[in-house]
Amino acid sequence: MPMPQAIRTNVAMPDVTPYSSPVQQPLRRTYRLAPDKAAAIRSAPPLVMDLKEASAYLVCSPRKLRDLVAAHRVKHVYIGAKIVIRREWLDAFLDR
């Protein structure tokens, strides 16, 4: 009994763009704020900040601030899984 052909040879394959095409690039997470937004936060900081905004205010990396939070050196609260820090708490940390 002959085996059926799995691939038809007379059908043209569609053009496939390479993975490096800008259309198919995977979304990259940004771990820092855009420079213009970071400058705005430093000039007029909000009362309550998330981790990215607080790291822009302190001019440090979000990873460093997360380490400080984990070591309980910066006062913080969790809202769900999000770390929230008040501006007064950051100022108190800087005054130490």
- Determine the Cα–Cα distance for residues 66 and 73; give it in Å rounded to an integer: 10
| Distance, CA of 27 to chain centre | 11
Comparison of pLDDT for 19 and 68, the residue scoring more: 68
Annotate 53-72 with DSSP letters as a single string.
HHHHHHTS-HHHHHHHHHTT
- pLDDT surpasses 90 at 5: no
Tens-digit pLDDT profile for residues 70-86: 999 999 999 999 999 99
Q: List, in order of start, the domains of the chain with CATH numbers.
A: 35-95 (1.10.10)
- Determine the Cα–Cα distance for residues 17 and 68; give it in Å rounded to an integer: 44
54-76 residues labelled b (16+ CB within 10 A) or e (exposed): bbbbbeeebeebbebbeeeebeb
User: Quick one: pLDDT band at residue 32, thresholds 50, 70, 90?
Assistant: confident
The pTM score is 0.67
Q: Which of 80, 81, 83 is nearest to 68 (CA)?
A: 83
Residue 25 confidence (pLDDT): 61
